[in-house]
Amino acid sequence: MQTLLVEAILLLILIGITLAIIFGKDLMTAVIIYCAFSFITMFLYIVMGAPDVAFTEAVIGVISTIYFIMMLRSIDRRCK
């Protein structure tokens, strides 16, 4: 029951984060919030009992965020 509650809270946070990514005006903000998305997903994997997958998710989430930020820095196109 407690696991289900934690899972429900994490999933609700995920939905909120996803809406923030979709409706955010600034691209850089969207990228940073996307990093938070993979962070919350990592907790979700830990709750489900898969620490191996959570470890991979943590590392890959950081690397994909770095790629997004690199491209954003070079295109210099931020929505207003």
Partner 1 sequence: MKKVLVVLLMVIVLTVPFALFDALPAIGDTASAPNNHVSTHYIENAIKECNSPNMVTAVIVDYRAFDTLLETTVMFLAGAVVLLVLAKKPALKNRILIPKSKRMHKDKHGNPIYHTINKDVMITIIQPLILVYAVYVLFHGEVSLGGGFQAGALIAMAYILDVMVIPDKKNIFVLSKKNSVALAGLGPFIYTLVGIICMIGGGLFLEYAKLPIPVHTAELHSIGILVVEIGVTIGVAATIITILNAIMERVTFDDDNY
Least distance in Å: CB of 62 to partner 1? Answer: 7
Our finding on whether 18 is near partner 1 (CB under 8 A) is: no
Distance CA 43, CA 51 (A): 9
Our finding on whether 8 is near partner 1 (CB under 8 A) is: no
Q: Give the list of residues 6+ apart from residue 34 with CB closer than 8 angstroms, or none.
A: 21, 64, 65, 68
What is the footprint of partner 1 within residues 22-51 (CB under 8 A)? 48-49, 51
Single out the residue of 71, 72, 78, 79 in contact with partner 1 (rule: CB under 8 A). 71
Contact by Cβ (8 Å): 34, 65? yes
18, two tokens: 């996803």
Interacting residues with partner 1 (CB under 8 A): 3, 48-49, 51-52, 55-56, 59-60, 62-63, 66-67, 70-71, 73-77
